[in-house]
Structure 1
Amino acid sequence: MIKIYANQLNTKLEQDNSWRYFLTVGNDPYLQDIAQTKITETLRLRGFSEQTVFIIDNQTNWDSIYENSRSMSLFSNLTLIILQFSDHSLNASTAKKLDELSKSISPDVSLLICLPQMTKSQESAHWVKTLSDHLLIISCNTPDINQLPNWINQQLQNHDLTIEKQGIELLCYFYEGNLLALSQMIEQLKLLYPDGKISYNQLESNLEDCAIFTPFHLIDAMLMSKAKRVVHILQQLKTNDTVPLILLRTIQRELIQLINLKKDAAKSNLKVAYDNYKVWQNRRNIITPYLNKTSLEQLYKNLNTLTELEIALKSDYEAPIWENLTSLCLQF
């Protein structure tokens, strides 16, 4: 079993064509589509001309999956079985089904399992271990703001394009979280500038803000006091019709946890508090500096302001909720 990133898939398949089982894991639909397409095309060239797709949910006919997975190809084509999982459809019940599937799959059958997410415990499941000798796991998560420049540079290299560092930063700003739009823009730039050299001004004149954010991006930017990023995220959330109440609830949950962490840390230490509330390690690295510089009094003040915003939102439809949200997030 080997784990790779989606942008390493082409090279890995060129180096070794013996992989029979594939697992694409991640929340980015563009990367999932690219990876799945490359895998199916590669297997088709290897003789797997038949493809059967199953959508995994409560109504899935697993007997049909088992029947297809045990077929031999003495007088028929090699078969690729694709299992498409949705959020939360990989559970204890489906894991048992996969255990059974992995034990009896025919050597004439290849398997592609597509998951939006996978926990550490799920990675240690019996079916994963059974398939592991011929299993390639491809991470299809959206690159974060720190990973995105490298991803862009690789795409530019693939298209024989050269853009200065400030141009890369501009692409990150306008297309973070939206790899589909970013890829389309890179292809457009290749058509507009066939010589491959693109100046900052040329680039800027062709771009539009297509960044996609979640409320969790906003929380992280607030905790790290990145004012420009906070404003940009709020602007895009508003543009994409995010419900303000959802933002308020997300910030409220974060504030309550911060208050609890601050209070518990005063009684013991912050590590114990983190463990008690099961805070992920990558979140700890963001939260710790914030808690060190923020008083409990300020946290309660922010919570009171948030409550006032919610009351205004529910009682006054003319209230400038986005302006008020921006003010709160910037003073966080």
Structure 2
Amino acid sequence: MLKTNQDIVFIKCNKPKINELYEWIKFKSKKLKIKISKINHELIIKNYIDNFTGLINFINIISLIWPNKKINRKKIQQIIECENRFTYSQWINYIIKGNQEKTIKILQYFKIQNYSPVILIRVLQNFILNIINLKRKTKYCIYENYLNKNILTKNNNLEEKSKKINNKKLYNSIKLISLIELKIKRNFKKNVWLELINLSLTLC
């Protein structure tokens, strides 16, 4: 919470009140062009009232997965449950480390818990786009460097990983993503977990 008075900036470090969290979610949702109903604001605040960093990450995640769409309660609960156990960040970090065993283990957990493959595809797409940006040596990374700030830890070297993933691997990964999305569109209930495992291992 920031308050400005001419050239002076005051930083309020107190724990945000519930009404302040409501206003923040409302403001952030509007800025990121995501639609969250008031009743779902209550669910989000209930889970993140003592974890403002987690709240920021949560809002960023849903803005990446469902841009310009109304976010229903089921989708919100799915993200919260996933973040509270195995996280997308852990999954991506193990891919970066090349740890195939851990990568598969987390994917198996996602499958058992019936998480949406579409969410996983979006996270992987964002990861791949960051890799491509680093390969091109661009200073501006789309999604406001979301992966670098919130999913990747300081101990992981994304730039080093970008050097190890050659263009052929990137091409195969993008091709696999397209095939998975096409399969889901044709039949949403179709099992695509084997393809997701192959895609993750391609990037490991």
TM-score range, shorter chain: 0.5 to 0.7
8 Å Cα contact 2:95/2:103 also seen in 1: yes
Map 1:114-263 onto structure 2 (within 5 A).
Answer: 115-117=50-52, 212-263=85-136
Aligned pair 1:327/2:198, yes or no?
yes
Tell me, in whole angstroms, the C-alpha distance in 1 between the residues paired with 2:93 and 2:51: 22
Question: Could you tell me the percent identity over the aligned residues?
Answer: 21
8 Å Cα contact 2:131/2:159 also seen in 1: no
How far residue 310 of structure 1 moved from its aligned partner, in angstroms, is 0.8
Q: Which has the larger radius of gyration?
A: 1
Letter in structure 2 aligned against 1:56: N
Larger strand percent: 1
Q: Deviations over 1:117-153 (max 9, x none)?
A: 259xxxxxxxxxxxxxxxxxxxxxxxxxxxxxxxxxx
Tell me, in whole angstroms, the C-alpha distance in 2 between the residues paired with 1:327 and 1:87: 42
How far residue 317 of structure 1 moved from its aligned partner, in angstroms, is 4.6
8 Å Cα contact 2:180/2:195 also seen in 1: yes
Tell me, in whole angstroms, the C-alpha distance in 1 between the residues paired with 2:23 and 2:127: 23
How far residue 312 of structure 1 moved from its aligned partner, in angstroms, is 0.9
Q: TM-score, length-normalised on structure 2? A: 0.55
Indicate the residue corresponding to 2:40 in structure 1.
none
8 Å Cα contact 2:183/2:190 also seen in 1: yes
**Structure 1 residues 87 and 303, CA gap change in structure 2 (3 angstroms):** farther
Runs of 4 or more above 6 Å deviation = none
Indicate the residue corresponding to 2:33 in structure 1.
none
**Structure 1 residues 310 and 90, CA gap change in structure 2 (3 angstroms):** closer
Letter in structure 2 aligned against 1:247: L
Letter in structure 2 aligned against 1:295: N
8 Å Cα contact 1:87/1:116 also seen in 2: no
Letter in structure 1 aligned against 2:185: K
Count of aligned pairs: 137
Structure 1 unaligned blocks of 5 or more: 1-21, 26-53, 58-84, 93-113, 120-176, 179-211, 266-272
Letter in structure 2 aligned against 1:324: E
**Structure 1 residues 118 and 223, CA gap change in structure 2 (3 angstroms):** closer
Structure 2 unaligned blocks of 5 or more: 1-12, 29-48, 55-82
Indicate the residue corresponding to 1:55 in structure 2.
18
Tell me, in whole angstroms, the C-alpha distance in 2 between the residues paired with 1:218 and 1:295: 21
Letter in structure 1 aligned against 2:129: I
Indicate the residue corresponding to 1:276 in structure 2.
140
8 Å Cα contact 1:222/1:230 also seen in 2: yes
Q: TM-score, length-normalised on structure 1? A: 0.35
Indicate the residue corresponding to 2:3 in structure 1.
none
8 Å Cα contact 2:97/2:156 also seen in 1: no
Bigger RCO (CA 8 Å, 6+ sep) = 2
**Paired residue secondary structure (1:250):** helix
How far residue 330 of structure 1 moved from its aligned partner, in angstroms, is 1.3
How far residue 300 of structure 1 moved from its aligned partner, in angstroms, is 2.1
Tell me, in whole angstroms, the C-alpha distance in 1 between the residues paired with 2:156 and 2:196: 25
Aligned alpha-carbon RMSD (Å): 3.4
How far residue 323 of structure 1 moved from its aligned partner, in angstroms, is 1.5
**Structure 1 residues 91 and 118, CA gap change in structure 2 (3 angstroms):** farther
Tell me, in whole angstroms, the C-alpha distance in 1 between the residues paired with 2:176 and 2:116: 18
Q: Deviations over 1:166-197 (max 9, x none)?
A: xxxxxxxxxxx76xxxxxxxxxxxxxxxxxxx
Indicate the residue corresponding to 2:79 in structure 1.
none
